[in-house]
Amino acid sequence: MELPQAGLTAIYPGSFDPITNGHRDVISRASKIAGRLIVAVLKNESKRPLFSVPERIEMMTQVAEEFPNVVVESFDGLLVDYAAARGASLIIRGIRAISDYENELQMALMNRRLRPDVETVFLMAGEQYSFVSSRLVKEIIGLGGDIRGLVPPVVEAKLKDRILGQVERGIAVK
């Protein structure tokens, strides 16, 4: 494999609530494409996240520490404006299924209309992660299921702490 393009900055945005091994797989592959990869955690409180933005940044920083060209930040507002402000010309999006593609294509086309100089690249999920979503992981652990292999160990520990603690206190998990 060739070295990443040194001058190319890419952004991999998402809510990452929580980070899955599918996200980690996309980071691993995207870090080989771009000289600098910014993993951008979305500040979107309307989604009622399980973890706060600082908690997600902390977990993502731990997950991404093995990739020297990856930095973790947060953003709100228009992704393409954030990309322009950070000098990024590429947005990385992971695709698991056709339903992902339809939504992601619509966003990519709108982003292209807003900022034609920022390109979107879709990376297909690794087959072992094509069924994994943050929502499913939260649901499985909330129902007492085993999530080993679906999320990095640091995330698994935080999920058990947070979700199993809520279940014990009788709080509904979303």
**Ranges 3-7, 20-24, 59-63, 123-127: which has the least confidence:** 3-7
**Of the ranges 30-39, 44-53, 90-99, the best mean pLDDT one:** 30-39
Question: What is the tens place of the pLDDT at every residue in 108-139?
Answer: 999 999 999 999 999 998 899 999 999 999 99
Rounded to whole angstroms, the Cα distance separating 44 from 137 reads 19
Question: What is the tens place of the pLDDT at every residue in 19-44?
Answer: 999 999 999 999 999 999 999 999 98
Q: What are the chain's domains?
A: 5-131 (3.40.50.620)
Q: Cis omega before residue 153 (within 30°)? A: no
Beta-strand pair 90-95/119-124: parallel
Confidence band of 2 (pLDDT split at 50, 70, 90): low
Rounded to whole angstroms, the Cα distance separating 52 from 161 reads 14
Residues annotated as catalytic are: 23, 47, 96, 134
Mean of all residue pLDDT scores within the chain: 91
DSSP 118: S
Rounded to whole angstroms, the Cα distance separating 86 from 17 reads 23
